[in-house]
Chains A and B, each alone.
Chain A
Amino acid sequence: SYVLTQPPSVSVAPGQTARITCGGNIIGSKGVHWYQQRPGQAPVLVVYDNDDRPSGIPERFSGSNAGNTATLTISRVEAGDEADYYCQVWDSPTDHRVFGGGTKVTVL
């Protein structure tokens, strides 16, 4: 089955930019979606279709996807962005929905 690989953790200072990667075989050919999960809470969709934002999600959250890597970028990081972030794709051969292992973003 399709495997998504994320770094376990990313640290960033307030006001700086955090980049969270999601690796997969020719992931650039897929639509990638990103979720934010704060401690003790349910996941929240922050980016869908590689680079679209649901209503209510700040413009500071953006996405890109090419080759074997998709990236979630959080600009002007705030303390409230500290959370786990998961990428997700649809694996068409199996019709499975697949999540990456998650990345913990720590705001220094």
Chain B
Amino acid sequence: QVQLQESGPGLVKPSEPLSLTCAVSGGSVSRGRNYWTWVRQPPGKGLEWIGHITNDGTIRSNSSLQTRVTISVDTSKNLFSLTMTSVTAADTAVYFCARGVESLATVTFYFDLWGQGTRVTVS
């Protein structure tokens, strides 16, 4: 079955860029109508949607982060990536990648598959 696995540095210095990748196994990032998504969770807090990319290159991101976030997909390596610039301590969080899917029944979107998460500390 499809699995997602995040990777990236556990420690990033303030003001430097944060780069994470999500490897997709057991399926293809370029097949189907999926929304390859990043979600984060600061320590002791709730989930925050960061943004997604589809296999046709459509990108949406949280307006609160939009100017600092880039999401891309590499179909040759079957992975997608997140880059966040000008990080501060407030960006310290566990970062999850997830697969978003569209529900035609309710015309909405949800996340049916998640990676295990990778912890990033900005310090």
Residues on A close to B: CB < 8 A? 1, 30-31, 33, 35, 37, 41-45, 48-50, 52, 54, 86, 88-90, 94-102
| A77 and B68 alpha carbons, distance in the complex (Å) | 42
Which of B96, B105, B108 touches A89 (beta carbons < 8 Å)?
B108
In the A-B complex, the 9 residue pairs with the closest CB atoms: A31-B106, A31-B108, A33-B110, A42-B114, A90-B108, A97-B49, A102-B46, A99-B47, A49-B106
Main secondary structure of the interface of B (DSSP, over half): strand
Report the interface size for chain B: residues with CB under 8 A from the other chain. 24
| A43 and B96 alpha carbons, distance in the complex (Å) | 9
Beyond the given A50-B106, A99-B47, please list 18 additional residue pairs across the A-B interface where CB-CB is below 8 A: A31-B105, A31-B110, A33-B110, A35-B47, A42-B96, A42-B114, A42-B117, A43-B47, A48-B103, A49-B108, A49-B110, A52-B105, A86-B47, A88-B47, A90-B109, A97-B100, A97-B111, A102-B46
Which residues of chain B are within 8 angstroms of A90 by Cβ–Cβ distance? 108-109
A44 with B110, Cβ < 8 A, contacts A31-B105, A96-B63 known: no
